């Protein structure tokens, strides 16, 4: 009986290869994002200050890259106003996550709570051993236990697939690009102008308006496909996709309540980290959504 429970050599080899591939992809995406922010800083620094501006921007980018790798998860938690989960009040959440993490072969993540009525959840952290799963008050009030369990399994899917580091850095990168837009706005005062090339108003305006757009594109690039992967992982982990599909349907039904809500810059920068984007109300805005459509996600889960 004991021997029959052991995985075959082929199964173990496949698991190991999948794990290594996920790690390689995570490192590659992380390196690409850090290279993008460095290039953007150098370009804007050179535009406004020539070589001296580029050197100053390189120093800023180096410090930011170091900080984003080691402290991006803490920055995201701070941006969200997250606090450690009260396990006395929400002990059932701790039990759910412990059960799911054990079944998934993951270390127990740290648990955080965001006191907001907006229903959502997210995962962050730079590795399996430094992972965090957070839930909002809204999602604990809106979902049934089995639906919340499905959402938590989805977030552990992000942990398992090593999505968190890339997405967390993308969140801080979005904030950094907003900083670049401000730098462009005040570039003349900061660097005293580019004596070599000279400043021009069209170029300055392009940087001011294109920088936030670039941040949005980066968020979209790292988000959409990974949501399908986390949905699939979560459904397999709990044995069915139906609770997760119902959770998505309930959150979609909650969106009309968000029509007049204006998200803060921090909420916008971290929208792609969330289980679903509650600020996308359809129409033209769906073209720039950080997540695939809820209808498509539900369709795949139920299929």
Rounded-to-integer distance, Cα 302 and Cα 246, Å: 10
Q: Could you identify the residue written with the tokens 């701070």?
A: 78
Query: What is the C-alpha separation between 64 and 290, in angstroms, rounded?
Result: 24
Tell me if residue 296 is catalytic.
Answer: no
What backbone torsions phi and psi does residue 196 show, to the nearest 5 degrees? -80, -40
Q: Render 245-263 in DSSP notation, one character per residue.
A: HHHHHHHHHHGGGGTT---
Give 38's Cβ-side CA count (13 Å radius): 14
Of the residues 17, 141, 144, 155, only one is catalytic, namely 155
Tokens coding 228: 């399908």
Which two structure tokens, joined as six digits, stand for 174?
């979005």
- What is the DSSP-derived secondary structure letter of residue 110? E
Q: Which sequence positions are flagged as catalytic? A: 155
């Amino acid at each position: 009986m004991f021997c029959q429970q052991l995985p075959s050599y082929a199964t173990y080899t496949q698991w190991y290869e999948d794990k290594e591939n996920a790690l390689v992809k995570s490192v590659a995406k992380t390196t690409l994002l850090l290279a993008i922010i460095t290039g953007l800083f150098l370009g804007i620094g050179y535009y406004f200050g020539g070589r001296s501006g580029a050197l100053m921007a390189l120093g800023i980018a180096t410090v930011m890259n170091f900080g984003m790798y080691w402290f991006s998860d803490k920055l995201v938690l701070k941006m969200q106003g997250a606090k450690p989960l009260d396990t006395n009040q929400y002990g059932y959440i701790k039990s759910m996550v412990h059960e799911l993490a054990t079944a998934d072969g993951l270390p127990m993540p740290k648990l955080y709570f965001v006191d907001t009525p907006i229903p959502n959840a997210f995962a962050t952290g730079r590795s399996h051993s430094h992972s965090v799963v957070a839930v909002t008050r809204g999602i604990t009030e809106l979902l049934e236990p089995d639906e919340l369990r499905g959402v938590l399994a989805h977030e552990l899917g992000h942990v398992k697939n090593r999505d968190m580091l890339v997405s967390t850095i993308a969140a801080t990168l979005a904030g950094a690009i907003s900083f670049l837009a401000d730098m462009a706005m005040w570039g003349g005062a900061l660097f005293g102008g580019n004596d070599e090339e000279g400043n021009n108003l069209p170029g300055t305006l392009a940087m001011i308006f294109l920088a936030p757009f670039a941040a949005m594109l980066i968020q979209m690039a790292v988000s959409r496909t990974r949501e399908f992967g986390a949905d699939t992982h979560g459904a397999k982990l709990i044995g069915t996709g139906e609770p997760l599909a119902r959770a998505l349907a309930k959150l979609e039904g909650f969106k009309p309540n968000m029509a007049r809500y204006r998200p803060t810059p921090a909420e916008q920068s971290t929208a792609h980290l969330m289980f679903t984007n509650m600020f996308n109300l359809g129409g033209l805005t769906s073209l720039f959504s950080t997540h695939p459509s809820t209808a498509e996600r539900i369709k795949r889960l139920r299929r």
